[in-house]
Chains A and B, each alone.
Chain A
């Protein structure tokens, strides 16, 4: 066996030695928006097809390409996401510009890679670079998730008949805690005595909570059995399980990130009351357009909140049309600064 492996490896190394170098090179046109746009998009775990923020980022890039022309190279990390740095480096090396990293997990990696490519413009969805520590060429695309979640809490509190709602978080990380904090605050703002059940699918450091529909379903079932009639999830792919539980229990659920009503099956559409929108697509599209016009400063954050339409509630299905005015009121209070939504529960 060992000898065979040795032979195999020797063989492959020999192949390497005479490997052809006819692969097309993109290193020719580096930096600047003089030619066609070459956008690099590095996904977070889950990659394309998560029906969540990775897909939303793709939608943003596609809209930008439709208006400006150009092309995109998408890259997903491997299963344990140990090659994130390689994704960004190889995109930058191949001349892709701007390079957009999706997810806060790129925090350390982008700080390591971006300074090596000063001519490339980077953006990171969900990652802050207000202090410029990640380099002058990195822009953070942030969202006020707590504000959107606050409105989701308001809607849930207005609609609940049992005075009991639930929150299912994917992974107990500071980002998801923003969703929880906003949701709780919103629910309590309408009904101070409301009971909000909170549960996370996995602890910090274990990302399985974003991709475990079975567990999402179990947890949501528990919440419905404990009297909740509306459950809000911020659990990525695990949210499918929450919807299934809602269908089986005949109760309702609130989606997250994108308008999940639009991608759900008909029986699930009946239970998805609304979705807390996080417009990653708009943020990405706007960033690319700003880049094309040469308006990207770097070392800043672009915060997408209620005032910019970066977060909000979806109205598909018309389940919250009757409380639209009350939601508007709360929205106005946040915009006017009468309500400051907490970011930590």
Chain B
């Protein structure tokens, strides 16, 4: 009975959020003088031919992979009550250095890819480690230091790109690192479509999808099935209680940030290893901030984040076809923003309802809340940061 009720409340919140988001978006579309039904139709119309439809799926999955990794990176820290806003800088530094290393060495294929991944994770972890060390030794808020480190990362990555790691010829409009040779690229997994009996799309499905799934499983196991994961969640729920039960909070901060940073280091790799093969001035930026929104939407659970990433990617795909239908692509951003905001609000309402009901039925103090991700105040801040 309680299990049923729990499922009921956990379903009610997102359902309410989606309804609110749909209503607000409908109003916005009406306000700009367009037909909301057309927009809805565009959202779900993947094209006429089978190849177009599978291509739409490729676009969605390719977009979802980095978003998922970004959300995962944010969520690991989140679960411990740490706010890693520095994911943006962590993946930028990781990608530029990994691209430089990948182009500089020659190795057999699997080792080459592995080396690039290890370098990226190490750089991401180190960059996040700075935040952790500052926090445990000097008490610097990780929010402040990670935001500041984003700017430093941006400048440093730019210096590395235009200086020592520059590979593009003088005068080329787009500055890039040297190309990673064939052996350092991640093969596409378009064979999947043949296996499933679907039409081959024109684009390539990132093979990194497999890595993302594995990383998701690994993080999930780590959080739920290990002593470390228990300590991490316990510290997130109540730092003082965790310390009292013998958990070294400082060590936990450092370990958590290193893991968060290592996952963040992977964000740029689907693109780097699967499509561009070099880091350049036009490399996709901003995924770290989107990751915050995705993590919030996914309520910090790996499966939730996977669905949140897919939902974001699904909406993003519509950006182009919406314009063909004369509806501004900003509609997508509005939907995404309202969904995240509504989910945050709905979560809070659901949380208080659960607590009130618990208090009511037992007549005792509230039990610990499930999966809180930092105080409510910081959650709202997160959205503002992401939107900034």
Interface size bracket, B side? 35 or more
Q: Other than the known A21-B45, A89-B202, what 9 A-B pairs have Cβ atoms closer than 8 Å?
A: A1-B14, A3-B10, A12-B44, A16-B46, A25-B48, A81-B282, A83-B59, A126-B173, A204-B161
Residue pair A8, B158 in contact (C-beta under 8 Å): no
Q: How far is the CA of A160 from the CA of B383 in the complex (A)?
A: 47
Q: Nearest chain-A residue to B322 (Cβ)?
A: A75
Question: Which of A83, A108, A116 makes the CB contact (< 8 A) with B174?
Answer: A108
Contact across chains for A9 and B286 when beta carbons are under 8 A apart: no
B323 touches A74 (CB 8 A): yes
Please classify the interface of chain B as helix (H, G, I), strand (E, B), loop, or mixed, using the class held by over half of its residues: helix
With contact pairs A1-B304, A105-B282, A175-B173 given, residues A90 and B319 touching in the complex (Cβ less than 8 Å)? no
Is B299 an interface position by the 8 A CB rule?
yes
Interface residues on A, range: 35 or more
Contact of A204 among B63, B175, B298 (CB under 8 A): B175
The distance in angstroms between the C-alpha atoms of A167 and B312, with both chains bound, is: 40
B301 located at the interface, meaning its Cβ lies under 8 Å from any Cβ of chain A in the complex: yes
Q: Which residues of A are found within 8 Å of B52, using beta-carbon distances?
A: 93
Return the chain A residue nearest B174 by Cβ.
A107
Which of A93, A94, A205 meets B281, CB within 8 Å?
A205
Flag if A1 contacts B299 (CB, 8 Å): yes
Interface residues of B (CB under 8 A from A): 7, 10-11, 13-15, 18, 41, 43-46, 48, 52-53, 59, 63, 154-155, 157-159, 161-162, 171-175, 202, 271, 276, 280-287, 290, 298-299, 301, 303-304, 307-308, 310-311, 314, 316, 319-321, 323-324, 329, 332-333, 343, 347
User: Is A197 interfacial (CB-CB < 8 Å)?
Assistant: no
Convert A66-87 into 0s and 1s, putting 1 for each residue whose CB lies closer than 8 angstroms to a CB of B.
0000000111101111110011
Q: Give Cα A207–Cα B46 distance, bound, in whole angstroms.
A: 31
Instruction: Give complex CA distance A78, B43 in Å.
Output: 15
Nearest B residue to A344 by beta-carbon distance?
B171
B3 to chain A, nearest CB (A): 12
Q: How far is the CA of A107 from the CA of B14 in the complex (A)?
A: 42
Q: Which of A8, A89, A128, A205: most chain B Cβ within 10 A? A: A205
Q: Which of B13, B44, B276, B324 contacts A1 (CB 8 A)?
A: B13
Query: Which chain B residues border A3 with CB–CB below 8 Å?
Result: 7, 10-11
* Residue from A5, A6, A9 having most chain B Cβ neighbours under 10 A: A5
The answer to whether the Cβ of A222 comes within 8 Å of any Cβ in the partner chain is no
Q: A residues within 8 Å of B by Cβ?
A: 1-9, 12, 15-16, 19-21, 23, 25, 73-76, 78-83, 86-87, 89-90, 93-94, 104-105, 107-108, 116, 126-128, 172-175, 203-207, 343-344
- The CB with the most chain B CB atoms within 10 A, among A4, A19, A204, is that of A4
With contacts A1-B304, A4-B11, A80-B284 taken as known, whether A104 is within 8 angstroms of B59 at the C-beta atoms is no
A-B CB contact pairs (8 Å), 25 listed: A2-B301, A2-B303, A4-B15, A5-B304, A9-B311, A15-B44, A16-B45, A21-B45, A23-B45, A25-B48, A73-B324, A80-B286, A81-B284, A82-B63, A90-B324, A104-B173, A108-B174, A108-B276, A108-B280, A116-B202, A127-B173, A172-B162, A203-B162, A205-B283, A344-B171
B14 near A5 (CB under 8 angstroms)? Answer: yes
A-B pairs, 4 with minimum CB distance:
A5-B307, A104-B173, A203-B158, A4-B14
